């Protein structure tokens, strides 16, 4: 059983249609649409297209279904955690309508405010542009750090390394950014901004570089090192730095908060002052283009992919594996440092562009889910970041409007990633094709391109 | 290898092979140099000069009867201890000694260096150091780390990477609190908490073995999931109606007759609740089960060489499921300890990274129950020490002391490099055929 493309992890049951024969008989669901095509050589009839979509050998459908399933899980949690609704469930068989309408009320108010906060609110159709575009620009603003983060995870992933240190690298990036932003006030406007952004980039890069260096030179596993460095960075910022005279804002006595950034060093608005998006988004898209170019066109990017696929083969081919590991962690750390930049001097910072101990806001971990959902492909990451950014933006409104805690967003995000990572589960749930599990069929025998989710070394001794 | 699938496994082929001779020499010299710094900083610094004394209290409650405090002259004691540390380092570097002696030397080095530091830190303080309190707090702080590392140990020994200990703690803690609050029974809470941990582990087992998701990735995502679910339910239930959902009874301390009367350590170690004793008793139990029973042999075989295990008729995947779910009971117990044993209520993300430190303890302890216990106690000591020291007004910011366990872990992982070997098949799903 071969595995045709990297994203198709399950074995295909249908034999490939031979040229010259009509399209294979349709499944029972759509008998009417089965028309033999005029061109017998292609398997492109409308029915086949529909069948291919719904039999979900393509990952787009799995992703869509994963999102639906995750929202269902979220809905179940919302209903289960509402005590008033659950009281009505106590007499469900006496009067099921009570429970159902109450549950429906919970779910619809939560998810409609999620939509209003993330995309647009129908009530603002006749409002001002800033009201109308407010939600979508907020989504873009939330997506910005996630794009950087997802790219950062992807670069490390493609080199065969799992960077869980986004939190630490973000924090160090934020520390460097903040320091540059309130210290170098004598620099002229634009230059100050550039220096500030570069400072954050370098901060994250150095912190990521430590990991790469330890991995390459000492064989220290990056997962452990990054987890530990996360706590080092957290303690460094929250436990010490924000209490020192160099960082602590004297006007906020007793509060662990840094001095605010100089107004020159704040990222300017991208779409005008009424809207929430800053030019960080532009930088993120530039980074996406750069990473895409890096993977496809640059020598180092090629080496990164080679090392990620098979380190031993790459070494045999003359690639310096250690250098590649260090380089990819430097790049990954730099992209993570950019989260620190956008968190500190971006518009999403609620603290007047100062940094507080929770400056990373868990984005280093959300970035992992973004990278996985985007399958570590640069533009895939952008789409994933937009989705998760929308969830974050909508979740904020959901919390205030529907009194549903924003924590549900974390649940939904985690569930999406789990479902996307286990396409076979999704297919089993929806009774899609290729659900029969063949014992012994290795779904990911050796995919031609790196699949972030699955271990490739299957079996005992790899 | 497309991804980093094992905790430290795949790096071995890239890692330089550390020659023991060279590492012995360099390590010993480094120890001696650090000892020398200790001599200069702790022994000859201004804090210990002027005939300052360091007070060691030997009673948990200063008012109760018992041995009176020991007062040691700070400067000579600190100098002596630092000198012992230097000698240990030099012996390790230049004397031809066996690995076993080296290990004891390392223990001696560490103990004398830390003692020198303590003498220096508490010099001239009127309150002094409360030794029983430090012992008590250390042993308490080590409990979740022990339970977590045992859980991760069981999983890794059977070939599944369990980086989701954090999530199991959280879920176990939440399940324990909500059940105990609603039933007013700690035992119901205990059962629910263990089952909560087992449920999270069952998720891990299913997705790792059936759906073949990369296990480190899966663990991180499961941690996010547990944090989200418990945080959400906390917001929805506990923060609105804490009296109903977040006020569980807690386990009572049981003083062990006889043992609890031992001076200095008795009150600290033998007047704790049942979860505390259980955690420490589980260490020898797990060791015995792993290394002296048929089940243990099979488990280790499945973790090291599943193909061979399969050949002799061991059901690899089934054993993995069983072990991982059993391990979930242990990490769930860790969650129960955090709530019903210690804090008496649930808080958002209350495990606070302890699950990750537990995994670090497993690695520093080199995948053995006894080693993990040692590492857990060490980490517990480092976390509690900064609480003890913050009242003494040392010039070192406490944040740096809190970093110690993390930096030690990085150091150990970097120093051991390829020598720290996880079970060979850990992180690799087994597919027959």
Question: Which residues in A lie closer than 8 A to residue B359 (C-beta atoms)?
Answer: 224, 227
d(CA A74, CA A409): 8
**How many C-beta atoms lie closer than 10 Å to residue A350's C-beta?**
8
Closest C-alpha among B156, B408, B94 to residue B300: B156
d(CA A88, CA A159): 53
Question: Are the C-beta atoms of A175 and A203 separated by less than 8 Å?
Answer: yes
d(CA B369, CA B367): 7
Burial label for A400, CB within 10 Å (0-12, 13-18, 19+), is exposed
Question: Which residues in A lie closer than 8 A to residue B221 (C-beta atoms)?
Answer: 368-369, 372, 414, 417-418, 421
Question: Are the C-beta atoms of A296 and A305 separated by less than 8 Å?
Answer: no
Q: Do B406 and A322 touch (CB under 8 A)?
A: no
Question: Which residues in A lie closer than 8 A to residue B224 (C-beta atoms)?
Answer: 365-366, 369, 410, 413-414
Question: Are the C-beta atoms of A391 and A413 separated by less than 8 Å?
Answer: yes
Q: Do B216 and A223 touch (CB under 8 A)?
A: yes
Residue with tokens 């210990």: B48
CA distance to partner chain B, nearest, from residue A263 (Å): 31
pLDDT in tens, A25-64: 444 444 444 444 344 444 556 666 555 555 545 678 888 8
Closest C-alpha among B314, B306, B301, B312 to residue B428: B306
| DSSP letter (8 states) at residue B167 | H
CA distance to partner chain B, nearest, from residue A458 (Å): 6
Q: Do B16 and A365 touch (CB under 8 A)?
A: no
Residue B41 corresponds to which tokens in the numbers above?
A: 């900083």
Q: Is B273 helix (H, G, I), strand (E, B) or coil?
A: strand
Mutate to test the interface with A, among B217, B301, B379 (most CBs of A within 10 A): B217
Question: Are the C-beta atoms of A10 and A432 separated by less than 8 Å?
Answer: no
Buried b / exposed e along B216-238 (16+ C-beta atoms within 10 A)? bbbbbbbbbbbbbbbbbbbbbbb
d(CA B347, CA B339): 9
CA distance to partner chain B, nearest, from residue A155 (Å): 12
Q: What crossing angle do the helices spanning B398-416 and B354-364 adopt, rounded to 10°? A: 40
Q: What are phi and psi of A133, to 5 degrees?
A: -90, 0
d(CA B361, CA B309): 28
Alpha helix segments (H runs only) across A12-133: 46-54, 59-80, 83-90, 96-118, 129-132
- Closest chain B residue to A459 measured between Cα atoms? B430
Q: Find residue B55's DSSP bridge partners.
A: B71
pLDDT of residue A45: 63
d(CA A84, CA B133): 47
**Residue B302 pLDDT greater than 50, yes or no:** yes
Question: Which residues in A lie closer than 8 A to residue B214 (C-beta atoms)?
Answer: 421, 452-455
Tell me which residue in B8, B212, B403 faces A232 most closely, judged by beta carbons: B403
d(CA A60, CA A43): 20
Q: Do B410 and A235 touch (CB under 8 A)?
A: no
Q: Do B406 and A229 touch (CB under 8 A)?
A: yes
Closest C-alpha among A121, A119, A112, A111 to residue A136: A119
Q: Do B2 and A414 touch (CB under 8 A)?
A: no
Closest C-alpha among A82, A18, A79, A22 to residue A48: A22
Q: Do B232 and A408 touch (CB under 8 A)?
A: yes
Per-residue pLDDT averaged across B13-40, rounded? 72
pLDDT of residue A47: 65
pLDDT of residue A149: 96
Question: Are the C-beta atoms of B324 and B207 separated by less than 8 Å?
Answer: no
d(CA A208, CA A156): 10
Helix (H) / strand (E) containing B71: strand B70-73
Mutate to test the interface with A, among B2, B22, B224, B302 (most CBs of A within 10 A): B2
pLDDT in tens, B350-378: 988 899 889 988 988 888 999 999 999 98
The counts of H helices and E strands in chain B are 16, 5
Mutate to test the interface with B, among A158, A220, A306 (most CBs of B within 10 A): A220
CA distance to partner chain B, nearest, from residue A395 (Å): 12
* Interchain CB contacts (distance < 8 Å): A and B: 241
Low-confidence ranges of chain A (pLDDT < 50): 1-42, 56, 435-450, 456-462
d(CA B201, CA B326): 8
pLDDT of residue A59: 75
Helix (H) / strand (E) containing A365: helix A363-373
Closest C-alpha among B258, B29, B269 to residue B133: B269
Per-residue pLDDT averaged across B292-299, rounded? 94
- Closest chain A residue to B307 measured between Cα atoms? A460
pLDDT of residue B197: 96
Domain ranges (residues) in chain B = 18-127, 132-369
List the single range of A385-394, A444-453, B19-28, B304-313 with lowest mean pLDDT. A444-453
Q: pLDDT band at residue B28, thresholds of 50, 70 and 90? A: confident
Cβ contacts of B399 within 8 Å, gap of 6 or more: A235, A236, A238, A239, A240
Q: Do A459 and B307 touch (CB under 8 A)?
A: yes
Q: Is B129 helix (H, G, I), strand (E, B) or coil?
A: strand
pLDDT in tens, A270-298: 888 878 888 999 999 999 999 999 999 99
Tell me which residue in A216, A240, A408 faces B397 most closely, judged by beta carbons: A240
Q: Do A220 and B217 touch (CB under 8 A)?
A: no
**Residue B347 pLDDT greater than 80, yes or no:** yes
Q: pLDDT band at residue B207, thresholds of 50, 70 and 90? A: very high
Q: How many residues does chain A have?
A: 462
pLDDT of residue B433: 62
Per-residue pLDDT averaged across B389-402, rounded? 76
Q: Do A224 and B363 touch (CB under 8 A)?
A: yes
The CA-based diameter of chain A, rounded to the nearest angstrom, is 81
pLDDT in tens, B116-172: 888 888 887 777 788 888 899 999 999 999 999 999 999 999 999 999 999 999 999
Q: Do A162 and B15 touch (CB under 8 A)?
A: no
Per-position DSSP letters for A119-137, written without gaps between them:
T--GGGTTS-HHHHSHHHH
Domain ranges (residues) in chain A = 140-378
Region class of B146: left (phi > 0), else alpha (psi between -120 and 50), else beta: alpha
The CA-based diameter of chain B, rounded to the nearest angstrom, is 75
Highest-pLDDT range among A60-69, B72-81, B200-209: B200-209
Strands (E), A145-292: none
Q: Do B225 and A214 touch (CB under 8 A)?
A: no
Q: pLDDT band at residue B45, thresholds of 50, 70 and 90? A: confident
Helix (H) / strand (E) containing B55: strand B53-57
**HSE toward the beta carbon, residue A127, CA cutoff 13 A:** 13
């Amino acid at each position: 059983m071969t595995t045709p493309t990297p994203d198709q992890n399950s074995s295909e049951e249908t034999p490939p249609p031979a040229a010259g024969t009509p399209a294979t008989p349709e499944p029972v669901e759509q008998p009417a649409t089965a028309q033999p095509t005029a061109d017998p050589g292609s398997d492109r009839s409308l029915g086949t297209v529909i069948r291919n979509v719904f039999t979900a050998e393509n990952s787009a459908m799995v992703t869509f279904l994963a999102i639906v399933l995750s929202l269902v899980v979220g809905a179940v949690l919302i209903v289960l955690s509402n005590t008033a609704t659950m009281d009505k469930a106590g007499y469900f068989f006496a009067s099921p309508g009570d429970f159902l309408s109450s549950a429906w009320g919970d779910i619809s108010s939560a998810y409609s405010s999620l939509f209003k906060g993330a995309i647009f609110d129908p009530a603002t159709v006749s409002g001002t542009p800033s009201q109308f575009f407010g939600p979508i620009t907020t989504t873009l603003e939330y997506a910005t750090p996630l794009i950087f983060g997802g790219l950062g995870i992807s670069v490390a992933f493609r080199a065969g390394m799992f960077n869980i240190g986004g939190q630490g690298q973000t924090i160090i990036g934020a520390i460097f950014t903040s320091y540059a932003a309130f210290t170098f006030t004598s620099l002229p406007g634009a230059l100050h901004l550039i220096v500030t952004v570069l400072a954050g980039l370098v901060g994250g890069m150095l912190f990521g570089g430590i990991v790469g260096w330890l991995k390459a030179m000492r064989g220290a596993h990056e997962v452990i090192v990054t987890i530990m460095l996360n706590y080092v960075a957290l303690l460094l910022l929250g436990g010490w730095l924000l209490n020192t005279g160099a960082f602590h804002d004297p006007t906020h006595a007793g509060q662990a908060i840094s001095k605010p950034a100089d107004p020159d060093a704040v990222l300017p608005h991208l779409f005008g002052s009424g809207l929430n998006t800053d030019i960080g988004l532009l930088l993120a898209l530039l980074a996406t283009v750069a990473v895409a170019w890096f993977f496809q066109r640059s020598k180092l990017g090629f080496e990164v992919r080679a090392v990620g696929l098979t380190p031993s083969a790459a070494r045999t081919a003359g690639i310096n594996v250690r250098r590649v590991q260090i380089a990819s962690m430097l790049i990954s750390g730099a992209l993570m440092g950019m989260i620190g930049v956008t968190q500190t001097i971006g518009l999403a910072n609620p603290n007047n562009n100062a940094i507080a101990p929770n400056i990373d806001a868990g984005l280093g971990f959300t970035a992992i889910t973004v990278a996985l959902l985007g399958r570590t492909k640069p533009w895939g990451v952008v789409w994933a970041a937009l989705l998760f950014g929308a969830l974050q933006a909508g979740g904020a409104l959901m919390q205030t409007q529907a009194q549903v805690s924003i924590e549900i967003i974390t649940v939904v995000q985690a569930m999406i990633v789990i479902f996307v990572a286990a396409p076979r589960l999704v297919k089993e749930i929806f009774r899609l094709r290729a659900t029969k599990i063949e014992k012994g069929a290795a779904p990911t025998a050796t995919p031609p391109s790196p699949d972030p989710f699955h271990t490739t070394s299957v079996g005992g001794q790899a | 290898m497309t991804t980093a699938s094992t905790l430290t496994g795949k790096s071995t082929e890239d890692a330089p092979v550390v020659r023991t001779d060279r590492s012995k020499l360099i390590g010993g010299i480094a120890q001696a140099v650090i000892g020398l710094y200790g001599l200069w900083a702790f022994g000859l610094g201004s804090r210990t000069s002027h005939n300052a004394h360091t007070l060691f209290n030997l009673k948990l409650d200063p008012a109760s009867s018992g041995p009176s405090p020991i007062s040691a002259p700070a400067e000579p004691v600190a100098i002596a201890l630092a000198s012992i540390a230097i000698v240990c380092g030099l012996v390790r570097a230049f004397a031809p000694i066996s690995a076993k002696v080296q290990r004891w030397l390392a223990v001696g080095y560490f103990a004398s260096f830390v003692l020198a530091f303590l003498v220096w830190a508490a010099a001239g303080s009127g309150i002094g150091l409360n030794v029983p309190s430090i012992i008590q707090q250390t042993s308490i702080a080590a409990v979740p780390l022990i339970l977590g590392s045992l859980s991760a140990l069981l999983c890794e020994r059977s070939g599944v990477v369990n980086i989701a200990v954090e999530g199991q703690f959280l879920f176990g803690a939440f399940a324990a609190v909500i059940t105990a609050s609603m039933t007013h029974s700690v035992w119901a809470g205990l059962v629910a908490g263990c089952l909560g941990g087992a449920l999270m582990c069952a998720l891990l087992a299913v997705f790792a073995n059936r759906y073949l998701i990369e296990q480190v990735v899966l663990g991180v995502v499961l941690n996010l999931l547990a944090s989200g679910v418990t945080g959400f339910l906390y917001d929805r239930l506990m923060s609105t109606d804490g009296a109903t959902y977040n006020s569980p009874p807690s386990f009572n301390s049981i003083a062990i007759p006889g043992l609890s009367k031992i001076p200095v350590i008795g009150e600290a170690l033998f007047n704790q609740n049942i979860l505390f004793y259980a955690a420490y008793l589980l260490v020898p139990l797990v060791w015995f089960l792993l290394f002296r029973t048929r089940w243990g042999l099979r488990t280790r075989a499945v973790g090291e060489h599943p193909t061979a295990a399969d050949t002799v008729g061991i059901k690899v995947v089934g054993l993995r499921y069983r072990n991982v779910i059993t391990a979930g009971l242990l990490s769930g117990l860790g969650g129960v300890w955090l709530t019903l044993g210690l804090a008496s209520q649930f808080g958002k993300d209350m495990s606070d990274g302890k699950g990750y430190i537990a995994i670090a303890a497993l690695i520093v302890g080199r995948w053995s129950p006894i080693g993990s216990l040692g590492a857990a106690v060490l980490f517990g000591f480092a976390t509690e020490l900064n609480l003890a020291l913050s009242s003494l007004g040392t010039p070192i910011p406490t944040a740096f002391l809190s970093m110690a366990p993390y930096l030690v872990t990085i150091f150990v992982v970097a120093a051991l490099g390829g020598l720290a070997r996880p079970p060979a098949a850990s992180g690799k799903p087994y597919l027959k055929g």
